[in-house]
A and B are shown apart, each in its own frame.
Chain A
Amino acid sequence: MKKFWWKILGGLLLLYAVIFGFIVDVPDTMIQQTMRNLFYHVGMWFGMFAMLFVGFIYSLRYLRKFDEREDVVAVEAVNVGMMFGFLGIFTGMIWASFTWGTPWVKDPKLNGAAVGLFIYLAYLILRGSIEDIHKRAKVSAVYNIFAFILWIVFVLILPRVSGAGLHPATGNDVTPVLPMHMDSSMRTVFYPAMIGWILLGCWILQLRIRIRRIKATVNELLT
């Protein structure tokens, strides 16, 4: 119980979010009931960002101590972050088809997300093209740190450079999709949902790291 309480908490929070996400009152704005997708779509971005940040931190840690285990955490965090990223894009595309009438629009938030996926797909290809494990870990850690910082810069400056798009939560927009513009009933679902998604991400990350370690041990025993 001491060690896995957060998994139970994460599960309960998500269960709560899935049920009350459909029950809670949402304000009657232009997008009406599709507003409920907020609890799931935005959660994907919180999860993606949290996981990529974990990857960034572990890449930094790898460069301090050169411990293989840190590299495993970094690459698996990127994998889980990308899973959230793709789900975020898909949930967003479904939402966009209903509200904007098209799955993809030219918008800073959407482009920022797509570029993030390109960066981390390139990261995985870079890893694949280096045979030696120590060299792979070191070179990919350097790229991860370099690219993460430039990605953050991109996400921050893009709305200024290309102007506000259709996506809410840019500039002075007051659509209730950010906590400060929500009413209290929406917030009671929004916050637990976000924490739940991040905890779920941590759980998946932990399982993937364990699987990778077991595989490595099995390989060692076989050879």
Chain B
Amino acid sequence: MLGKEIKFLVGKEIKLELKQKYVINGILLYLVSTIFVTYLAFEDVISVETWNSLFWIILLFVAVNGISKSFAQESPARHLYYYTLASPQSIVLSKILYNLMLMAILSILAFLFFMLLMGNKVITMPLFILALLLGSLGLSSILTMVAAIASRASQNFSLMAILSFPIVLPLLATLMKVSSTALINLEWAGNAGFIVILLTINVAVIMLAYLLFPYLWRD
């Protein structure tokens, strides 16, 4: 039952996105122009540490921008309508799943464009890609939940940033740690612990979203 609902709802999200292409195009342009601005600002002094921090900070801003619309895009009346059709759990899981797909695409694109302008510093590519994917999952689940919270309040864009930045930090700090080792050496060893931390954060956040979202949903 839950699986079927989620499938339909994810399909709905994709259709909605394709109908309003300007939204996704806007995010893509945001991504490209942010990276271009950093490229112009930094030009040639690019140490590995700077490369790493810049990349993840840009990705964080792109994620906040891309996901903040999750609940603000549709009218409250439409949400009421969904409420009569589907369970809140399947709504939040479908949003997380959809945002995961969005973030996976955006982070890969960001990485390719960043690499084009700033040069490739990654030595252990599989580890970096793994960090990108786990990061996409973590960012999408935390930010979906924060977007749901912020959509219940007025003036929600600045709220989205101040609510999410401090709680996204455990994820971001671990991600930067993993990816910095992917930039420095070829070794996988020593990263198992951090991968476990990332997985634990992801599972915990998804469970919290599953349990807490119904309270945000009902008025």
Which of A28-81 touch B at CB < 8 Å? 63
A86 CB–B CB distance under 8 Å: no
- Chain B 142-182 near chain A by CB (<8 Å), digits 1 or 0: 10010001101111000100110111011001100100000
**Complex contact A63–B215 (CB within 8 A):** yes
Contacts of B174 in A (CB 8 A): 157, 161
**Complex contact B170–A153 (CB within 8 A):** yes
CB nearest to A117 among chain B residues = B166
A150 to B215, CA, bound (A): 19
Tell me the interface secondary structure of chain A in the complex: helix
Partner of B149 from the list A131, A139, A158 (CB cut-off 8 Å) is A139
Contacts of A221 in B (CB 8 A): none
Partner of B219 from the list A122, A135, A146 (CB cut-off 8 Å) is A135
A20 to B149, CA, bound (A): 48
**Complex contact A126–B153 (CB within 8 A):** yes
A166 CB–B CB distance under 8 Å: no
Contacts of B205 in A (CB 8 A): 150
Contacts of B208 in A (CB 8 A): 145-146, 149
- Chain A 144-184 near chain B by CB (<8 Å), digits 1 or 0: 01110111011001101110000000000000000000000
Contacts of A147 in B (CB 8 A): 163, 166-167
A115 to B163, CA, bound (A): 11
- Chain B 63-80 near chain A by CB (<8 Å), digits 1 or 0: 000000000000000000
- What are 30 sample pairs from A and B whose C-beta atoms fall under 8 A apart? A63-B212, A118-B165, A119-B167, A122-B162, A125-B159, A126-B149, A126-B159, A129-B154, A129-B155, A129-B159, A135-B219, A139-B149, A139-B153, A142-B215, A146-B149, A146-B167, A146-B212, A147-B167, A150-B142, A151-B167, A153-B204, A157-B170, A157-B173, A157-B174, A158-B170, A160-B193, A160-B197, A161-B174, A162-B173, A162-B177
A142 to B166, CA, bound (A): 16
A93 CB–B CB distance under 8 Å: no
Partner of A130 from the list B142, B154, B215 (CB cut-off 8 Å) is B154
**Complex contact B204–A149 (CB within 8 A):** yes
**Complex contact A138–B215 (CB within 8 A):** yes
Given A63-B215, A129-B154, A149-B204, are A142 and B170 neighbors across the interface (CB < 8 Å)?
no
A115 to B145, CA, bound (A): 19
A146 to B215, CA, bound (A): 12
**Complex contact A142–B212 (CB within 8 A):** yes
Q: A63-B215, A122-B163, A153-B204 are in contact. List 7 more A-B contacts (CB 8 A).
A: A63-B212, A135-B152, A138-B216, A141-B215, A142-B149, A142-B216, A145-B212
- Size band of the B side of the interface? 20 to 34
Which of A96-127 touch B at CB < 8 Å? 115, 118-119, 121-122, 125-126
A143 CB–B CB distance under 8 Å: yes
CB nearest to B205 among chain A residues = A150
A160 to B152, CA, bound (A): 36
B58 CB–A CB distance under 8 Å: no
B39 CB–A CB distance under 8 Å: no
Given A129-B159, A157-B174, are A118 and B166 neighbors across the interface (CB < 8 Å)?
yes
A115 to B174, CA, bound (A): 15
B194 CB–A CB distance under 8 Å: yes
**Complex contact A115–B166 (CB within 8 A):** yes
**Complex contact B216–A150 (CB within 8 A):** no
**Complex contact A119–B145 (CB within 8 A):** no
Contacts of A63 in B (CB 8 A): 212, 215
Which are the 9 A-B pairs with shortest beta-carbon distances? A154-B170, A118-B166, A129-B153, A150-B167, A119-B166, A122-B162, A139-B152, A153-B170, A161-B177
B201 CB–A CB distance under 8 Å: yes
Contacts of A142 in B (CB 8 A): 149, 212, 215-216
Contacts of A162 in B (CB 8 A): 173, 177
Contacts of A130 in B (CB 8 A): 152-154
A157 to B170, CA, bound (A): 7
A115 to B173, CA, bound (A): 12
Contacts of A119 in B (CB 8 A): 166-167
Contacts of A139 in B (CB 8 A): 149, 152-153, 216
